[in-house]
Amino acid sequence: MRTHELVLRQVEADLAAGRLRLGDRLPGERALAGQLGVSRPSVREAIRVLEAMGVVRTAVGSGPDAGAVIVAEPASPLTATLRLHLATSHLPMGDIVQTRVLLESWAVREAAGRAEPEELAAPRHLLDAMDDPELPRERFHLLDAEFHVALAALAGNVLVATIMASLRDAIHGYVVAAAADLPDWNATVDMLRQQHRAVLAAVASGEGERAAALVADHIEGFYRTARLA
Amino acid sequence: MRTHELVLRQVEADLAAGRLRLGDRLPGERALAGQLGVSRPSVREAIRVLEAMGVVRTAVGSGPDAGAVIVAEPASPLTATLRLHLATSHLPMGDIVQTRVLLESWAVREAAGRAEPEELAAPRHLLDAMDDPELPRERFHLLDAEFHVALAALAGNVLVATIMASLRDAIHGYVVAAAADLPDWNATVDMLRQQHRAVLAAVASGEGERAAALVADHIEGFYRTARLA
DNA sequence: CAGCCATGTGTGGTCAGACCACAAGGTATC
DNA sequence: GATACCTTGTGGTCTGACCACACATGGCTG
């Protein structure tokens, strides 16, 4: 067992036992090293891994926000991991698109049956913001991603929403690059806006199957148009 | 930008550009530090992160297997991340089970339509191995996990199979613990065996919907019996 | 000559100690 | 009373050293 893994194991045990909770601060690197009888570099390596997994956030300086704080950000590590493996070309874009379709279809079908009307306000505001004709493309894509994540969140499953957000983030760069080559951006945007509205309306009226079919068409259609999959 | 992030960015760029490929070795820590003009601890922190993301595997000693080698293991980092966030209780077990049901139902439905008969040999052999009445419980659980992953792999989507494997691994400890408390282990195992066979048979005969329903019942039933969700 | 064993060499793993940049909070000054 | 300064504690980085390990090489031994 390498030394930094020992530190990791200790922190994980503290988390599982409730000795460390969300918002708590880890002891300082020097203190932790002393407590566990290891050197500071080993502690630092462990903290880097925790940081990469979205379990802690580090900040320099003093005060309540400084140091290594326990957070819960499972999305960012998933994104980074997917992006890296996408870079190595061992994760086909087609599989990612297919997974998105599968997760989002399920999410809207589920959401149609359980989402309260007031929960629909968040995605609706995003759509309103996307109606702005002056919106830069980059901003449109970001709002688009947010809308899909908000939609997935309606299903009430943290894991699915997290995976969705990660998938969308990981391919964001590819989407922006591909969209730049589209022959008629304005027409594409109008179509996307209509499809978004249609999906949300189906969810609002409780038509789960219809919402699922619409969102699947929407996603597959875009990637086909952008020649990404 | 912290120093180790600079190293990470450099490696990612090399991966994306094809200068680093699967199986290649990173320069030694000292050499890499020299090339990038940073210190060895910074390089090490970056390598720890890459390792945590399943992009490299490190080994000491000499020879072709030593050093930091590029690998593609997206499953292990996902597993570790899920496990850690499960430990912080910010990822409900119910959501994981629900996600498994959703992914596996889709996978078997897909597999029923496309899997070649010879592809079914792998999961079938796992089921044969699980028929051994002398099998220790721990071993049974491992084979069970392998079977579900093999099933998911039949759908031909690397990402879905990877997520499935990670989910199963992340909760493996909880499953083993819960199964130890079951009132009648032998009856449970018999039921699981029958359900597995039924699912595989439905896939083999191309009955996608039936397979999906069976696998959903199988998973939900087990977690209900084990009082995990 | 064939096999074994000691040694060399390069690798990651670990450590100690030092210094820097930064941010908060107390303190002295105006 | 407000402001500027300084103390203090934090992570960030570097240097240099030593250890454990595993393969490669060579010589030694049978």
**B63 burial level (CB within 10 Å; 0-12, 13-18, 19+):** exposed
Tokens linked to A66? 């400084």
Which residues 11-40 on B are within 7 A of strand D at the CB atom?
A: 37-40
User: Which residues from chain A sit within 8 angstroms of residue B99, using beta carbons?
Assistant: 157, 159-160, 163
**Tokens 């148009």, located at residue:** A225
Chain CA centroid to CA B45, Å: 25
Tokens linked to B224? 């209900």
Residue B86: predicted pLDDT: 87
- At A226, is the pLDDT very low, low, confident or very high (cuts 50, 70, 90)? confident
Torsion angle defined by CA atoms of residues A159, A160, A163 and A168, in that order, rounded to the nearest 10 degrees = -150
Tokens linked to A212? 């699922």
CA contacts within 13 A on the Cβ side of B189: 19
Which among B215, B195, B177, B189 has a CA at the least distance from the CA of B132? B189
Residue A227: predicted pLDDT: 76
φ/ψ bin of A92: left (φ > 0), alpha (ψ from -120 to 50), beta (otherwise): beta
Question: Which residue ranges form the domains of chain B, and what is each CATH number?
Answer: 3-70 (1.10.10.10), 75-225 (1.20.120.530)
Q: Which residues of B touch A (CB under 8 A)?
A: 4, 12, 15-16, 21-22, 41, 44-45, 48-55, 70, 72, 74, 77-78, 80-85, 87-88, 90-92, 95-96, 98-99, 102-103, 106, 157-160, 163
Q: How far is A126 from chain B (nearest CA, A)?
A: 26
Locate the DSSP E strands across B18-88.
56-59, 67-70
Handedness of CA A123, A128, A131, A136 (dihedral sign): negative
Torsion angle defined by CA atoms of residues B84, B86, B89 and B94, in that order, rounded to the nearest 10 degrees = 170
Q: What angle do CA A121, A127, A132 make, to 5 degrees?
A: 135
pLDDT digits (tens, 9 = 90+) for B80-106: 999 988 888 788 989 999 999 999 999
User: Which residues from chain B sit within 8 angstroms of residue A80, using beta carbons?
Assistant: 53
* β-sheet bridge partners, residue B25: B69
Mean pLDDT of the A92-103 span: 93
Nucleotide with minimal C1' distance from the CA of B43 is D13
**Tokens 């010879």, located at residue:** B118
Distances (CA, A) of B216 to A157, A207, B99, B224: 17, 23, 11, 12
Which among A87, A169, A218, A157 has a CA at the least distance from the CA of B92? A157
CA of A63 to C1' of C26 (A): 13
C-alpha A146/C-alpha A166 separation (Å) is: 11
Residue A131: predicted pLDDT: 96
Residue A12: predicted pLDDT: 95
Nucleotide with minimal C1' distance from the CA of A33 is C15
* β-sheet bridge partners, residue A25: A69
Longest dimension (CA), chain B: 63
Highest mean pLDDT: which range of A185-189, B101-105, B183-187: B101-105
Q: What is the DSSP letter of B120?
A: G
- At B65, is the pLDDT very low, low, confident or very high (cuts 50, 70, 90)? confident
pLDDT digits (tens, 9 = 90+) for A79-91: 999 988 888 878 8
Task: Tell me if B52 and A52 make a contact (CB, 8 A cut-off).
Answer: yes
Residue A171: predicted pLDDT: 87
Q: Residue B227: pLDDT above 80?
A: no
User: Which residues from chain B sit within 8 angstroms of residue A22, using beta carbons?
Assistant: 88, 90
Q: Residue B228: pLDDT above 80?
A: no
Residue B229: predicted pLDDT: 66
User: Which residues from chain B sit within 8 angstroms of residue A96, using beta carbons?
Assistant: 159
C-alpha A116/C-alpha A133 separation (Å) is: 30
C-alpha B100/C-alpha B148 separation (Å) is: 10
Mean pLDDT of the A119-127 span: 96
Q: Residue B63: pLDDT above 90?
A: no
Mean pLDDT of the B193-209 span: 97
Residue A50: predicted pLDDT: 97
Question: Do the Cβ atoms of A220 and A99 come closer than 8 Å?
Answer: no
Residue A87: predicted pLDDT: 81
CA of A57 to C1' of D7 (A): 26
CA of A214 to C1' of D3 (A): 62
Q: What percent of chain B has pLDDT over 90?
A: 76
- At A122, is the pLDDT very low, low, confident or very high (cuts 50, 70, 90)? very high
Task: Tell me if A157 and B4 make a contact (CB, 8 A cut-off).
Answer: no
Residues 6 or more apart from B132 whose CB is under 8 A from it? none
Torsion angle defined by CA atoms of residues A91, B152, A73 and A146, in that order, rounded to the nearest 10 degrees = 70
Helix (H) or strand (E) holding A110: helix A93-114
* β-sheet bridge partners, residue B70: B56
Residue A89: predicted pLDDT: 76
- At B206, is the pLDDT very low, low, confident or very high (cuts 50, 70, 90)? very high
Task: Tell me if A157 and B87 make a contact (CB, 8 A cut-off).
Answer: no
Residue A229: predicted pLDDT: 66
Q: What percent of chain A has pLDDT over 70?
A: 100
Task: Tell me if A48 and B49 make a contact (CB, 8 A cut-off).
Answer: yes
Pairing status of strand B56-59 against strand B67-70: antiparallel
